[in-house]
């Protein structure tokens, strides 16, 4: 099935550092969604993107819908310990009819205080 | 507005048994999707329901089934449990019909352990 390539798979950073992660595909997407999942919980929506080039912020988080519609990135500024978790990108393919959301495999973020 | 709720949160079963998981979507949401999440496979789509009808189905065996009620609440059932069915089962709801490509909101999940 369709795959989203999410990178990096994991990252260890110092508290206060900025973080960047991205998702790429060979296919074109209409919508990009970024979720964060804490251990034992369900994914929580962070940012939704609907137009190519769109740049949206949610507090210290900023995400962009790539111009080619084949990629998206998420930045976290000035990381804090509660940013620890797994970040997932997800998207709806263009002209996909009834195709469900496609998910990346996640980026596991660890923050060292 | 209350979020997506799932019951039970944790469940332990033995091989061969069957299990039913429940999901209540956000009020006003009519689509419910189910996912299986395992460390090795990530999030895998099970099925999607809208207006009490299954509108989309992932690549899972027939042991996995579901249904949706008139109030949009949904249940999924797994029969003849196998060890490999141990996973976090997530339910997500969205407002409109499948194909509308709307944002999905997840519940906390049901952690199923099969012994």
Contacts of A47 in chain B (CB under 8 A): none
Task: Name the band, by pLDDT with cuts 50, 70 and 90, for residue B103.
Answer: very high
- Measure in Å the smallest separation between the Cα of A44 and chain B Cα atoms: 7
Query: Which tens digit of pLDDT belongs to each residue from A57-109?
Result: 999 999 999 999 999 999 999 999 999 999 999 999 887 677 889 999 999 99
Query: Does A35 contact B at CB distance below 8 Å?
Result: yes
| Any B CB within 8 A of A48 CB | yes
SS (H, E, C) A61-102: EEEEECCCCCEEEEEECCCCHHHCEEEEEEEEECCCCCCCCE
Q: What is the pLDDT of residues B2-49, one digit of tens each?
A: 899 999 999 999 999 999 999 999 999 999 999 999 987 889 999 999
Q: How confident is the model over A13-54, as pLDDT tens digits? A: 999 999 999 999 999 999 999 999 998 899 999 999 999 999
With H, G, I as helix, E, B as strand and everything else as coil, classify residue A54. Answer: coil
Is B72 exposed, middle or buried, given 0-12, 13-18 or 19+ CB atoms closer than 10 A?
Answer: buried
HSE of B27, CA atoms in CB hemisphere, 13 A: 2
């Amino acid at each position: 099935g369709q795959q989203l390539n999410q990178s990096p798979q994991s990252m260890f950073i110092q508290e206060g550092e900025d973080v960047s992660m991205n998702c790429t595909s060979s296919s074109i997407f209409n919508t990009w969604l970024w979720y964060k999942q804490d251990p034992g919980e369900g994914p929580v929506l962070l940012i939704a993107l609907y137009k190519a080039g769109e740049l949206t912020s949610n507090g210290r988080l900023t995400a962009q819908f790539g111009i080619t519609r084949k990629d998206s990135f998420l930045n976290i500024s000035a990381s804090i310990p509660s940013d620890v978790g797994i970040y997932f990108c997800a998207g709806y393919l263009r002209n996909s009819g009834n195709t469900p959301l496609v998910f990346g495999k996640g980026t596991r973020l660890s923050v060292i205080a | 507005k209350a979020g997506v709720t799932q019951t039970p949160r944790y469940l332990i079963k033995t091989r061969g048994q069957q299990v039913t998981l429940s999901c209540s979507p956000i009020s006003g949401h009519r689509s419910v999707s189910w996912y299986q999440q395992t460390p090795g496979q990530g999030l895998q789509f099970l099925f999607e329901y809208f207006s009490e009808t299954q509108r989309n189905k992932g690549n899972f065996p027939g042991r996995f089934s579901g249904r949706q009620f008139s109030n949009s609440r949904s249940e999924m059932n797994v029969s003849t449990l196998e060890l490999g069915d141990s996973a976090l089962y997530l339910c997500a709801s969205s407002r409109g019909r499948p194909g509308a490509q709307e944002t999905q909101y997840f519940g906390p999940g049901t952690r199923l352990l099969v012994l």
